[in-house]
Amino acid sequence: MKKGKILVVDDNAGIRSALKIMLPAHFEEVECIASPKVLISTMESMKPHVILLDMNFNTNINSGNEGLFWTSEIKKMSPKTEVVLFTAYADIQLAVEGMKRGAFDFVVKPWDNDRFIETLTKARDNALADLDEPVYLSSGSKDSDMYWGKTPQMEVIARQVSRIAPTDATVLITGENGTGKDLLATEIHKQSLRCNMSMVAVDLGAITETLFESELFGHVKGAFTDAHTDKIGKFEQANNSTLFLDEIGNIPLHLQAKLLRALQNRVITKVGDGKEIPFDIRLICATNMNLEKLVSEGKFREDLYYRINTMHISLPPLRERKEDIVPIAGRFIENFNQKYHRNIKGISPEGVNVLYAHPWNGNIRELQNVIEKAVILSETEYLKASDFMLNTHQTPKSEVVEQPAKEETLEEVEERTIRNAMSLCSGNLSKVAKQLNISRPTLYAKLKKYNI
């Protein structure tokens, strides 16, 4: 039965012509392209259910690494799309590696027609099976507000937290706005030996310079105008517990010295009082800024940076963990069902497609806001595409990848540079290494490091 869309990516014109004749008998829509250079744009316009992907696109280079690279990119962009690799006999081991990266199966050239069609239609049916049914809410564990997900980046972070949390090591959490830095700080505290005490959180971006010392260290009555009573500062409140300093990159330079002095000496002095008060805290800081860049520009003290950066955790943006979008949305639906006394059971197939296609520049915070509105306004048991009030004018990150972010770490710059080179060279590792002026072994190590 004809159904589903298939995209063929192969540089052999004869193969494309043959498949253009053969595949329409089994698929509603068939598109053939010669190069992966237009793969992403074609996916965005066509939204195929299956992609038949050749593993080599450059003459005299048969490493198969291009196929592996584009398999990873396809699954990152569209986890529901099934990839079938088109390979020669010599590439079978690489095709198996491709399946580990998310490919559905592989077909060997020259192909057997029956086996070929059977593999492609199975991949199509598998993709459509996920899309034909609404996504139901999970009844999984709600012990934590932190959703780790199943992406490699988040699995690494979860393991890091399990090792870091029981210690008193100072932690610096970085990431874009809305990625859940506050939730991660709370999770670290919950897994720590101080979890029997409440964590004290401070938004440093919301504190004026004149009240900085009073808020953090406290003051005594009469210390300044309107100081009618003694005030206990956040450091003293957090004694024997965890102090979370959010938006630490916003502290003016002249106040950073006072914070550093307190952290070094482990004592504070209230405004208007000369008595030193010792404290025992576990410090967690967070920022969306590039502190290393601020240090190099003289806007953030280097000694304070090293003081708060014993352990560093960088949270990935939501667009880099697309397979977690629907499960996180499910958690929000359950929360808002309770809050607003609704009975939303899940998300329709069209709704899932819309969530996957959105760039989510506002990350998890934006997703939470979108789901809350949808739960309130929905007139059906399953959230439809029309229920999601999305800002369709957002520029997808993939379209601005060439433009460096305002605040990036050195590792982020390196990763972005390598990804751009991989895209420009269509995954040809020899060309990428030459363009970056590094050896192939060094490039392999970088690809492994950044999970490219």
Class of the 409-449 domain? mainly alpha
Closest CA relative to residue 388, chosen from 342, 409, 357 = 357
List b or e across 142-176, with b for residues whose CB sees 16 or more CB atoms inside 10 angstroms.
eeeebbbbebeebeebeeebeebbeeeebbbbbbb
pTM for the full predicted model: 0.61
- CATH architecture entry for 152-314: 3-Layer(aba) Sandwich (3.40)
In CATH, which superfamily holds the domain spanning 5-132?
Response regulator (3.40.50.2300)
Q: Would you kindly state where each structural domain of the chain is located, as residue ranges?
A: 5-132, 152-314, 409-449
Cα(8)–Cα(54) distance, integer angstroms? 8
pLDDT digit string (tens) for the chain, length 452 residues: 678 899 999 988 989 999 999 999 999 999 999 988 899 889 988 989 999 998 887 655 556 678 888 888 888 888 889 999 887 765 667 767 777 788 888 888 888 888 899 999 999 988 887 555 565 555 444 556 788 887 778 888 998 999 999 999 999 999 999 999 999 999 999 999 999 999 999 999 888 888 899 999 999 888 787 788 889 999 999 999 999 999 999 999 999 999 999 999 999 999 988 899 999 999 999 999 999 999 999 999 999 999 999 999 999 999 888 888 988 999 999 999 999 999 999 898 888 888 988 999 999 999 999 999 999 999 999 999 999 988 755 544 443 333 444 455 667 767 777 877 776 665 667 677 777 767 666 776 777 777 67
Dihedrals phi, psi of 33, to nearest 5 degrees? -130, 155
First to last CA, the chain: 37
Same topology, domains 5-132 and 152-314? Answer is yes
